[in-house]
């Protein structure tokens, strides 16, 4: 630990409170501030459009044969970069035994999976302007985004990036996160990403404050939490990485309690982890059963789930970017929804302990509903995911939050889901839900985001959106 | 979640505080109670001796060829049970890249490892007698214990045990943990075990309270936390599983703060997880390089680390037990020690972020020193583990705690370590320790035991022992 983590030299033996007493208020002020010091909220779309025009990015699908530095490895058939860096597409064999004591239903399947066993940094720089915390957001192009540019963290860096960073501005911004000032770290936690598409992927989610001058190009803008919350109501605007980091911001908790104490919630979760037995084993991509390998795509034999495809990316002369890469393209629009009920006046969301083959540890907490409905269209109604019909059939008056959000555009092509928070009554969502579900408050979920492997990335997006519901856009912003 | 997790039916929409406001006081009262309702502390050794005599257990080393139901699997050479249950001994290939960004030292090795991919239950039943919480401890035989019987949790059950439990008393006791009453769960968390000997092993550590009658045989006794604390000062008496569960008990925190806030401590830990890159891959036991396979042992070519051996176990007619099994036998007495310093009047321990090949997630928090000194005897002083000489050479007046404790006797043969807490001065243990070390308070560590994969099992033992320091035995108990 660096020397700056110690207390001030004047009092070498001082202790400090274990929680920063002023932070919650400063977060609350930023969340309540809808007019930023630098840019009005309604100017963000125009700024993004301007950056999009400046970049002149073009993304085109290509057959695998036109991938420049990527190839199918002889023998395994794994899709790898010639340098051995970035990521690989491999195969995964998953066996899941559920039920109270491993004696319940058994599922077994094989699938392609993205493996990238290195921890990246997703960092948002924070700074006070006029006494209000603002967050430095980047207009960043990612080839998988339908609209190419979205609002992103200040830095998104893989280990390869940050051990060999080469561009001036980026290096200076990255430095805030690679060597963070311990007195100014607001968020710093390893969080998982999609366990259905990634094997054991996690990134370091960070918010670090600075009081110094920050040199940032036209690709960056300072926004308050209130402004970002308003933007979370728009489709495809705040990218997945930003949503993930924002979900970990320690918003203050005004609720008087919860249906279940924290100890009860954790005990329930421990029970869920214990009763699921998920064993995932890497296999060669060429050996994955049930998937067809074509010249332009690797796809499921019945057209379900997702395809592995390839794209070429080119930017303007100014940007000077040009590369090819594989992407995972989900089939159909996803749905991720929390059912919401108030108990004792306190809103609760119905959380699901969900097993995904690529999770490091069996299950994580997921939305009430998380699926791509098309994948279940061939099944009888009884086999459809619980609560899916409740969500899809909800009266518009009961929808607290709704927007279409994109998943990570650096790995996924046009991967979009409808994120919802839907008010539910006792009939649809009883006090005592079925096995695998539990009621928790947003404050309880926020407390869990201090630690990794609790909330999956979809639940974190919804948590960020629930924070946004309290800051619903009003006229004149 | 079962219906009993809901609040009382009379107020179906009530919320409760997120923390049980009375629990800390009840823990404190039990910790301060040195005279138990059932048994005096100084009677525990006699009771254990009596149970030991009643069992007439005999454990003998045998060559692998005399293992009854175990065999070396053709091809892999893995040591497996014919039923496919219990555990296996396999090979592990570990590659570790350290240094700030994976560009530091690289270590690579192969070793045998125990794989047991199922979650067991380590459960202690609690109950109030005369208004004081007592904990039901078992005199349990484990073949690897030098003294065979030690004080153990109420139940230690593998999934195989608890899905097919057959003995009456055991089943009734087990029921408190398999289907715990959510209103009476005090501890419930998955914790890791030795990452140097086990692959990804974790067990469900539980304390559950009951108000009902408990039928328990002569193998069980109720003790207060104060009594157990006194017993933690004795060698080889409280077994590893009991120590692990006890470390998770939510003792109250009277300290006014810490050198680093909780957010700073977690940020430091996130940095440590990020800068270590540990990749462990299962390999056939027969393929492990650097280890010799003999008729009675699999051992390291230089006699270091540990041996895989086999034993036969027989009990009296009454106990009617008889089996054979492999065990891992470490070479030499281990050392696990915290250096302790007070800052602002608050004791802190120096914690090490330690990578072990069998951890699920890169590093966990370990004691300042954790090693078997003999394994380093061949190395120059500069290559010995940091702080080892400080601990071994400490003046007796500076030793706050010291006892020899046994590791898990169901898997390890005569695996013993000297556990210490040693007061250190600024010269030996500076405010600003080297990379990989941080000062934390016991209260901060206790808070982390609510979650898994933070404290390793040796750190948890020491945390339980630090709790015991405050309850040092006095005359007249």
Q: Which residues contact A265 (CB under 8 A, 6 or more apart)?
A: A258, A438, A440, A444
The CA distance from B356 to B465, in Å, is 23
Q: Are B277 and A118 a contacting pair at CB < 8 A?
A: yes
Q: How many CB pairs under 8 A join A and B?
A: 186
Q: What is the pLDDT of residue A13?
A: 60
Q: Which H helix or E strand runs over A245?
A: helix A240-247
- In which residue are the tokens 């901060």 written? B444
pLDDT tens digits, B254-291: 888 999 999 999 999 999 999 888 999 999 999 999 99
| A346, A255 contact by CB (below 8 A) | yes
The CA distance from A337 to A56, in Å, is 35
Write out chain B residues lying below 8 Å of A274, CB-based: 119, 190, 204
pLDDT tens digits, A372-394: 998 988 888 888 999 999 999 99
Per the rule left: phi > 0, alpha: psi between -120 and 50, beta: everything else, B436 is left
Lowest mean pLDDT among A352-361, A404-413, B308-317: B308-317
Closest alpha carbon within chain A to B342: A13
pLDDT tens digits, A412-466: 999 999 999 999 999 999 999 999 999 999 999 999 999 999 999 999 999 999 9
Q: Which residues contact B46 (CB under 8 A, 6 or more apart)?
A: none
| Helix (H/G/I), strand (E/B), else coil: B140 | strand
Total number of residues shown for chain B: 477
pLDDT band (50, 70, 90) for residue A471: low
| Helix (H/G/I), strand (E/B), else coil: B247 | helix
**Mean pLDDT for the stretch of residues A314-337:** 89
Instruction: Provide the token pair at B114.
Output: 């125990």
Q: Which residues contact A256 (CB under 8 A, 6 or more apart)?
A: A344, A346, B15, B17
| B451, B189 contact by CB (below 8 A) | yes
Q: Are B450 and A266 a contacting pair at CB < 8 A?
A: yes
Nearest to B320 by CA among B69, B141, B68, B70: B141
Across chain A, mean pLDDT equals: 91
Mutate to test the interface with A, among B7, B9, B14, B15 (most CBs of A within 10 A): B15
Indicate the pairing of strand B185-192 with strand A58-62.
unpaired
- For residue A158, say whether it is annotated as part of any ligand binding site: yes
- In which residue are the tokens 């932070």 written? A23
pLDDT band (50, 70, 90) for residue A475: very low
| A37, A130 contact by CB (below 8 A) | yes
Residues B412-446: b if buried by 16+ CB within 10 A, e if exposed: bbebbbbbbbbbbeeebbbbebeebbbbbbbbbbb
**Mean pLDDT for the stretch of residues A39-68:** 96
CA dihedral over A67, A72, A78, A80, signed as positive or negative? negative
The distance of B66 to chain A (nearest Cα, Å) reads 32
Nearest to B323 by CA among B307, B306, B341, B310: B310
- Considering CB atoms only, which of A188, A270, A342 is closest to B266? A188
| Helix (H/G/I), strand (E/B), else coil: A440 | strand
Q: Are A19 and B262 a contacting pair at CB < 8 A?
A: yes
Q: What is the pLDDT of residue B13?
A: 60
Query: What residues are paired with B121 via a beta bridge?
Result: B157, B204
Lowest mean pLDDT among A66-70, A82-86, A288-292, B33-37: A82-86
The CA distance from B245 to B136, in Å, is 12
Write out chain A residues lying below 8 Å of B262, CB-based: 18-19
| B240, B55 contact by CB (below 8 A) | no
Q: Are A263 and B186 a contacting pair at CB < 8 A?
A: yes
| B214, B130 contact by CB (below 8 A) | no
Write out chain A residues lying below 8 Å of B264, CB-based: 5, 182-183, 185
Phi, psi of A443 (to 5 degrees): -65, -40
| Helix (H/G/I), strand (E/B), else coil: B347 | strand
Instruction: Provide the token pair at A137.
Output: 């957001």
Write out chain B residues lying below 8 Å of A245, CB-based: none
Degrees to nearest 5, angle at CA A50 with A49 and A53: 85
Q: What is the pLDDT of residue B474?
A: 42
Query: What residues are paired with A437 via a beta bridge?
Result: A352
Tell me the CB-side half-sphere exposure of residue A248, using CA atoms within 13 A.
33
Q: Are A102 and B256 a contacting pair at CB < 8 A?
A: no
Q: Domain limits of chain A?
A: 262-277+330-470
Residue positions forming the annotated binding site of B for dTDP-4-dehydro-6-deoxy-alpha-D-glucose = 70, 158-162, 196, 241, 291, 354, 370-372, 375-376, 408-411
pLDDT tens digits, A152-192: 999 999 876 666 544 445 778 999 999 899 999 999 999 99
Q: Are A263 and B103 a contacting pair at CB < 8 A?
A: no
Instruction: Provide the token pair at B432.
Output: 């600003």
Q: Are B7 and A444 a contacting pair at CB < 8 A?
A: no
Closest alpha carbon within chain B to A118: B277
pLDDT higher at A137 or B159: A137
| Per-residue pLDDT tens digits of chain B, which is 477 residues long | 333 344 444 445 689 999 998 999 999 999 999 999 999 999 999 999 999 999 899 999 999 999 999 999 999 999 999 988 889 999 999 999 875 555 567 899 999 999 998 899 999 999 999 999 999 999 999 999 999 999 999 999 987 666 654 444 577 899 999 989 999 999 999 999 999 999 999 999 999 999 999 998 999 999 999 999 999 999 999 999 999 999 999 999 888 899 999 999 999 999 999 988 899 999 999 999 999 999 999 999 999 999 999 999 998 766 678 999 999 999 999 999 999 999 999 999 999 999 999 999 999 999 999 999 989 888 888 889 999 999 999 999 999 999 999 999 999 999 999 999 999 999 999 999 999 999 999 999 999 999 999 999 999 999 999 988 875 544 333
Nearest to A432 by CA among A260, A256, A255: A260
| A231, A41 contact by CB (below 8 A) | yes
| B324, B67 contact by CB (below 8 A) | yes
Degrees to nearest 5, angle at CA B290 with B284 and B291: 65
| B324, B65 contact by CB (below 8 A) | no
Write out chain A residues lying below 8 Å of B21, CB-based: none
| Helix (H/G/I), strand (E/B), else coil: A132 | strand
Q: Are A261 and B20 a contacting pair at CB < 8 A?
A: yes
Q: What is the pLDDT of residue A383?
A: 86
Residues A328-339: b if buried by 16+ CB within 10 A, e if exposed: bbbbbebbbbbb
**Mean pLDDT for the stretch of residues A14-35:** 95
| CATH architecture label of A262-277+330-470 | Alpha-Beta Complex (3.90)
Dihedral over alpha carbons A22, A24, A30, A33 (to 10 degrees): -100
Query: What residues are paired with B446 via a beta bridge?
Result: none
Residue positions forming the annotated binding site of B = 70, 158-162, 196, 241, 291, 354, 370-372, 375-376, 408-411
Q: Are A188 and B270 a contacting pair at CB < 8 A?
A: yes
| A135, A124 contact by CB (below 8 A) | yes
pLDDT band (50, 70, 90) for residue A317: low
Tell me the CB-side half-sphere exposure of residue A446, using CA atoms within 13 A.
20
Give the distance, in angstroms, between the CA of residue B345 and the centroid of all CA atoms in the same chain. Answer: 29
Indicate the pairing of strand B155-157 with strand B132-141.
unpaired
Cβ-in-10-Å burial (0-12, 13-18, 19+) of A348 comes to: buried
The CA distance from B338 to B246, in Å, is 18
Task: Kindly report whether the global pTM for this prediction surpasses the value 0.90.
Answer: yes
Helices (H), A79-163: 159-163
């Amino acid at each position: 630990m660096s020397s700056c983590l110690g207390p001030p030299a004047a009092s070498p033996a001082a202790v400090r409170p274990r929680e920063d007493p002023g932070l919650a208020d400063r977060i609350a002020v930023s969340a309540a501030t809808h007019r930023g010091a630098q840019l009005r909220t309604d100017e963000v779309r125009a700024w993004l459009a301007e950056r999009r025009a400046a970049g002149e990015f073009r993304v085109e699908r290509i057959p695998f044969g036109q991938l420049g530095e990527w190839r199918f490895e002889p023998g395994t058939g794994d899709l790898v970069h010639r340098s051995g860096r970035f990521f690989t597409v491999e195969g995964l064999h998953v066996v899941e035994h559920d039920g109270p004591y491993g004696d319940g239903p058994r599922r077994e399947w094989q699938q392609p999976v993205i493996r990238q066993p290195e921890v990246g940094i997703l960092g948002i720089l924070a700074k006070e302007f006029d006494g209000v915390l603002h967050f430095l957001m980047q207009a960043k192009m990612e080839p998988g985004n339908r609209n190419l540019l979205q609002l992103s963290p200040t830095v998104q860096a893989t280990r390869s990036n940050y051990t060999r960073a080469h561009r001036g501005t980026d290096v200076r911004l990255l430095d805030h996160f690679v060597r963070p000032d311990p007195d100014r770290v607001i968020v710093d936690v390893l969080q998982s990403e999609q366990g259905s598409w990634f094997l054991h992927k996690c990134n370091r989610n960070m918010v670090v404050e600075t009081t110094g001058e920050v040199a940032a190009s036209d690709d960056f803008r300072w926004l308050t939490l209130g402004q970002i919350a308003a933007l979370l109501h728009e489709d495809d605007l705040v990218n997945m990485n930003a949503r993930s980091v924002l979900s970990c911001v320690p918003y203050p908790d005004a609720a008087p309690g919860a249906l279940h104490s924290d100890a009860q919630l954790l005990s329930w979760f421990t029970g869920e982890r214990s009763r699921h037995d998920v064993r995932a084993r890497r296999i060669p991509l060429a050996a994955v059963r049930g998937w067809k390998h074509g010249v332009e795509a690797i796809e499921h034999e019945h057209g379900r789930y997702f395809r592995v495809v390839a794209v070429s990316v080119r930017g303007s002369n100014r940007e000077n970017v040009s590369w090819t890469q594989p992407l995972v393209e989900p089939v159909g629009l996803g749905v991720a929804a929390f059912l919401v009920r108030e108990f004792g006046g306190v809103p609760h969301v119905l959380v699901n302990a969900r097993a995904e083959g690529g999770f490091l540890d069996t299950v994580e907490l997921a939305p009430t509903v998380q699926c791509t409905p098309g994948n279940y269209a061939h099944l009888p109604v009884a086999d459809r995911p619980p609560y899916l019909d409740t969500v899809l059939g909800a009266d518009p008056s009961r929808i607290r939050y709704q927007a279409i959000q994109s998943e990570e555009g650096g790995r996924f092509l046009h991967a979009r889901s409808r994120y919802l928070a839907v008010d539910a009554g006792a009939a649809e969502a009883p006090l005592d839900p079925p096995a695998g579900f539990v009621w928790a408050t947003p404050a309880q979920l926020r407390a869990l985001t201090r630690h990794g492997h609790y909330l999956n990335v979809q639940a974190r997006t919804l948590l960020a959106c629930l924070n946004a519901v309290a800051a619903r856009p009003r006229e004149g912003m």
